[in-house]
Structure formats: C-alpha cells, structure tokens
A and B are shown apart, each in its own frame.
Chain A
C-alpha cells in the first residue's frame, strides 16, 4: 500500500472533481480508522467487537480506494480504448494436439466476444489435416476489445491426455497468441503507418496463360512491407481483391502494434523505472484438464473451473484481474517516478 505522502504527490498530479471526491473519502476513512483504532482495546467486549467489525470494513474501503478508485482516476486514459482487436493464433509444440487446442481457444474467444457484444469473425485460417487448426486470425470488432484482450498475448499451454493417446499419458502442448490493435482502412492515421511505395504485392500461385484461358480460383496474395520485413499472406477469400484488403488490414495492425510498443518504450525510457515488459514468448497461462484448473502465471491467479473459462465467463474473470494488475503497475510506476 502507498503512503499518504505518495497520495499528496498524486493529488498535485491531477486535480479533478472525481479525484477530489475520492480524496475526501480517503481522508475521511483514514480519520475514522484512527478514531476506531483505540476502541479495539476497549474493556467492553461488545464495544471491542463493534470496533473490530468497523475497523475491517474501513480497511477494505481504503484498499479499494487505493487499488481501484485512484488508479482508474489517475492512470492516463487509454489511447487505444476505441480500438478493435485482431488476434493471431499459431499452434506451437504438441503437433495435432496443439491444433485441436487452438480451435478450442478460437471458440473460447468467440464466446467471450458474444458475452461482450463484440463481433467475432475468423478472417484467416489454416486447417490441420489431422483435425484442428494450424493457425488462425480472429477479428474482434467492438469498443474496448483491444484493451480488454491485449493481455492475451503470449504462450498458452494445455496439459491433458489427448483423445488419440491410448496410454493415458498427459501431454503438454502450446499455442502462441499475439493480439494486435485493429486499424480500419478508414482510420485517419493510416497514412503515417506505411507508404504504398514500401509495399511489395505478390500473387502466390502461377496461373499459366491466365485470363479467359483459366477459371481456377487463384486468390491468394502476399504482401511485404520492405522497411520492416513484415510479410502477410491471405488466401481465405475467393476474391483476390478481398484477400488484398484483409492482408493490408493485418499489415496496418502489425505496424500499429509496433508503433504502440515503441511509444511505450520511449515513455518508459524517459522515466527511471521499468515496468514489466510484455514478452510474447513468455508462458502466460496453463489449462490443466486433469485438475480442471486454469492458472495465469503473471498474476498467480488460478481458477478451479476450466469449463467456465473455455465458455467465456471464467475468461472474463482473468481479463478483469489482468486489467486491475495493469492499473496497479502503472500506478506504482507513476508513484516511483513522480
């Protein structure tokens, strides 16, 4: 918990009515707490017990003020709060088991989207011959989707006995997820993300004489952003034109992601303190089927209801906890550098 001196400094940071109200409440609660504290040793047992109840309720209020009210008022408003999200999922170790799990994760995010009234659409997908999905791109449209989902970036690990495993041995497989901010074609700040001259656009398969000679569907395209070396391939749509639009959307999202990451790094470099950087190769979560549990390793939170997580509701609990954790670390960061 932060000391009152810190709060004083924060007070100077930002003056606002909401903050003033929260501040007044904080002062008042602390005062009540001070008044209650001597009563904890009162000779009258009834008084003691009353005091102790009050004391713990006041402490709770203080904790909430510090852990959520102040942060939500003080943490700078997110500049990405209006953005939708583009999730790229890739199967990792574990072969077809990883592909099967990837397909389940896609369904999990689709359900979560439903609950939040976001629009989820699989815009790219490569299926595995043995079942499941090798990789997928999931577009999640809606206010706040990116801010809510960005903490899903990282390696998700599943531990279970594959349906195909006769010996009953538990396998560990992984799926890597990267969540990007979705940048629409019509968004104003596209211009600065890339120059058309820096783009190399290629069709992916030969078409022989082409034109009237051929009526096979050859709609796959690949584009390369030369300065960054980012390449995007798209083949899911029947029209080349649509694949091209999708590919540009993914490119814009990746470039926007790089820009946001760069800006965060610059802001941090300007301060003395470093907040934990998001490492996308870090194992962030384990889904353990045998124990029916899901653990998020970053915040140490375990939910004993794996089914509910895969259905979307439990996942919401993780997202909420991660958001709180983010607020807190931004707060700490501000306190230490203020």
Chain B
C-alpha cells in the first residue's frame, strides 16, 4: 500500500480523486510508458501539475494521445462533440472530404476523425502558431498511424500540418498549404476572456500555453477571425460544415457571428455532458 503517498495526494485533490489518480499513475508506470517513480509523480501532482502532463498521455475516444507541456491537453468536452460530429456525417472513400482544423494543438480533432471514419474518406490539414503544438501533433499522427499522404495502394485518411496564424488578415490567401474548398472546418480556438483568465485554476494557467487559452479581452477574437475566413469566397464547399467549440457563455454570440457571414443557412448548438452549450455547428448553403 502507498498510504503515505495517498495521504499526500488526498490533501490536495481529495481522497476519492487521489485514489483514482494514484491507480492511474501505477498503471502508467507498470505499462512502461513513464520512467518516473511514483513518489516523484505524486510530488509533481501535489504541486499542481496536471495529471495528463505527468502521465504523458490522455485518452481521446479510442485513441491514446501524447501530452506535452505547454500544448493544450485535450478536454473531454472536445472528445464528446468530435465523436458526435463523427456520428453525424457519413463520408466514404468514393466521396472523400477535405477538412481544415484551425489551432490544431495536439491534433486531437482531425486525428480522431481520421481514426473513426472509413479509410480513404478524409484528408485533413491542421494549422497552429505554436511549433511545440505542431511537433506534438505530428508525433501523435505517427503514433495513431495516420500518414501525411497516401503512400500505399490502400486508401488511407491523411493529416498534414503547417505553421500559420489564422488571426492574420492575409490568411488564408498567403498560405500555400491551404487548399480550399473545404467540406469541413473544425476549431477549438482560444476562448477565455481576460477577466476569466485571471481566475483560472493554477493547474491550467501555470502549465498550459496562454496562447492556447486566451481569446482576447472579450474571448471572441478568434471567432471574429473565423467568421472572416468563412466569409472568404471559395473557402467552403457547398453544404460544408463548420464546427466550433465555444466557451460556456459564448454559443449564441458565435452562432450569430456565423449567421452574419452570409454563407450559412442553418446553425445548431450542441450541449456538452455537463449541461453547457459547447459547440456551434454551422451548415453552409448548398
């Protein structure tokens, strides 16, 4: 028994959570995925470091993705809406889709869709401003067996990445890697407003990249940028789907930003498992 370590951890996160996390630490150690010791893991956790960075992985749907500071840890809310999106569309190898992921981070969104959808039905591209994120995204793609291009006779889903800022007004015109039109645009952009950023738990603000979290004074800067991109002629194909994760009070504002682009004929708001409005799904005109 590790009752001393359990007590040390429980003082910070409560007994129930501590006993679960201690078990996950032991599992990570016994699977050989980490060469730390249990007591250093507990020490780091007690100092407030996120469990996912300590263990080095986070499950995301059926995938087990690598996590590395300061790249944003994939959230269960994101996992939930991406699975729902996967179940709401039916791409086939005969009718493959093009997907653009803005602020791709660990690569979790396109990689999960590549994994869930039929082989050869999806080509994805992710951009990010952070080289750390792109390195992790590419490592995750390799881990999940998703290639950058189809290199065999077998049909495959693909994932490519490039370093770019979608806040730039020149985006996407000056981006050679962006090849419109896109059938699907996904994004979980930074959405935390200034005042809330100051109130974040330390395990978030001390460890995760501020550039992955801070969405400008109102938290909406990136949605304005996405609205501009969506308005851009030829970026969306007919009937394209734009799926955006939003902060807990932003769904309706983002929905109206999307409607005002003039490219959208129908919108939906999806709730997350905790009862928050979490995802705005916008359908482009035919």
Residues of chain A whose beta carbon lies under 8 Å from any beta carbon of chain B: 125, 127, 129, 131, 201, 203, 206-207, 209-219, 221, 235-242
| B residues less than 8 Å from A214 (CB atoms) | 75, 201, 204
Contact of A217 among B52, B78, B83 (CB under 8 A): B52
Given contacts A129-B15, A217-B52, contact A212 B75 (CB under 8 A): yes
Given contacts A215-B75, A217-B21, contact A240 B80 (CB under 8 A): yes
* A241–B60 alpha-carbon span in the complex (Å): 8
* A238–B73 alpha-carbon span in the complex (Å): 13
Q: Is the CB of A240 within 8 A of B72?
A: no
Interface size class of B (residues with CB under 8 A): 35 or more
| B residues less than 8 Å from A242 (CB atoms) | 59
| B residues less than 8 Å from A207 (CB atoms) | 274
Q: Which of A127, A131, A212, A213 counts the most chain B CB atoms within 10 A?
A: A212
* A213–B219 alpha-carbon span in the complex (Å): 12
Q: Is the CB of B59 within 8 A of A239?
A: yes
Given contacts A237-B59, A238-B59, contact A210 B1 (CB under 8 A): no
Instruction: Sample 8 A-B pairs with CB under 8 A, ordered by A number.
Output: A203-B273, A211-B245, A211-B276, A212-B191, A217-B20, A217-B51, A239-B61, A240-B80
Tell me if B278 counts as interface (CB < 8 A to partner A).
yes
Q: Is the CB of B77 within 8 A of A215?
A: no
Q: Mark B242-286, 1 if CB is under 8 A from A, else 0.
A: 000101100000000000000000000000111010100000000
* A242–B24 alpha-carbon span in the complex (Å): 14
Q: Is the CB of A241 within 8 A of B61?
A: yes
Q: Is the CB of B196 within 8 A of A219?
A: no
Q: Would you call the interface of chain B mostly helix, strand, loop, or mixed?
A: mixed
Contact of B248 among A206, A211, A215, A236 (CB under 8 A): A211
* A164 CB → nearest B CB, Å: 14
| B residues less than 8 Å from A237 (CB atoms) | 59
Closest to B53 in A: A215
Given contacts A203-B274, A240-B273, contact A215 B20 (CB under 8 A): no
Q: Is the CB of A215 within 8 A of B196?
A: no
Q: Is the CB of A240 within 8 A of B213?
A: no
* B140 CB → nearest A CB, Å: 15
Interface residues of B in 53-110 (CB under 8 A from A): 58-62, 72-73, 75-80, 83
Contact of B192 among A213, A235, A241 (CB under 8 A): A213
Q: Is the CB of B79 within 8 A of A236?
A: no
Q: Is the CB of A215 within 8 A of B52?
A: yes
* A207–B207 alpha-carbon span in the complex (Å): 19
List 10 tightest A-B contacts by C-beta distance, closest first.
A239-B59, A209-B248, A203-B273, A207-B274, A240-B76, A215-B50, A211-B77, A215-B73, A210-B274, A210-B276
Q: Is the CB of A241 within 8 A of B62?
A: yes
